[in-house]
Amino acid sequence: MTTGFLYDDRFLRHDPGQGHPESPERLRKTLAHLKQQPWFEGLAKLEPRRAEEKWVLTTHGAGYLERVHEACRQEQAWLDTPDVGLSADSFETGFLAVGGALELADQVMAGKIQNGFALMRPPGHHAEAENAMGFCLFNNVAILARYLQKQYGLEKVLILDWDVHHGNGTQHTFEEDPSVLYVSLHQFPFYPGTGSRWETGTGRGKGATLNCPMKAGAGDRDYEHAFCESVLPKIESFAADAVLISAGFDAHRADPLAQINLSTEFFGWMTERMLEAADRSAGGKLISLLEGGYDLEYLPKSVAEHLAVLSRASRLRRAVS
């Protein structure tokens, strides 16, 4: 088995408007950089499918889907908040992004790949059940978690979100559900205003949310301390059947939208820790989806660091077996 890499030029069709940080250029620059890497040809190249509506409806309401569809038909400039820019193709691109996540799941569960990463857009972790926000239309990772549970019968799913912005939509989707552990490291206080340490889930889901708010200026050592003291023990005790990553790279020190100071190499360190967690409880099953990351030089380098670690782990596993 190897590492899957999912991409499609149709992800470029979502156009949030001139000057918007979440531009198609993010993917163009990243793909060009990845193609220069010596290990890139060894990745299993995958293509997305359009997601079936029933899976999107596990997280979003039918009325919301209709609102998004109608807004795109009418070519509205934005939906719900001005930062969620739209174009005529945004609805279909959003369904394709969700379908990309589901395709990765199918490949992992079939044993055709060990782990995988989707270079896709629009991102998803801010999307609420009935509202778009924070550049996001559909909550890709939340839908993926539900898909793994309902389609494949997995009992416990871990979502680690290292995007610099808290994934409010993902947390709210699962805050009452003990079967999904949501862990987030993010700048705080910061957009979207959620993600305090005291938000740990509600009702039956109490304790299945772990927020690690990080102060502006935090760097590799601060994140490593949070991992070792809080994140890894929580993940170890949960023992997930699959590991999902909301892989935003906007906590990089060069990113223009935040003030966290992670190095490019530290994304590799976090990837290694998640691979270890996946090996311990999930048979190595790990799926990573692109969220944020807006510096056009260091987003590609950070994604390459992440993918290099994923693919190296797959090669080592293949050599051992």
Radius of gyration of the chain (CA): 18
Task: Choose the catalytic residue: 126, 172, 186, 306.
Answer: 126
- DSSP 8-state code for residue 91: H
Phi, psi of 35 (to 5 degrees): -65, -15
Query: Do strands 242-247 and 157-161 pair parallel, antiparallel, or not at all (unpaired)?
Result: parallel
How far apart are the C-alpha atoms of 140 and 138, rounded to whole Å?
6
Phi, psi of 227 (to 5 degrees): -60, -50
The answer to whether 235 and 277 have CB atoms below 8 angstroms apart is yes
Assess contact for 93 and 121: CB atoms under 8 A.
Answer: yes
Phi and psi at residue 258, to the nearest 5°: -155, 180
Query: Cβ-count burial of 28 within 10 angstroms (0-12 exposed, 13-18 middle, 19+ buried)?
Result: middle
- Rounded Cα distance between 145 and 139, Å, is 10
Instruction: Give me the sign of the Cα torsion angle 50, 52, 53, 58.
Output: negative
- Cβ-based burial of 316 (10 A; exposed 0-12, middle 13-18, buried ≥19): exposed
Structure tokens, 41: 């040809």
Q: How far apart are CA 79 and CA 134, in angstroms?
A: 11
Would residue 126 show up in a list of annotated catalytic residues for this protein?
yes
Residues serving a catalytic function are: 126
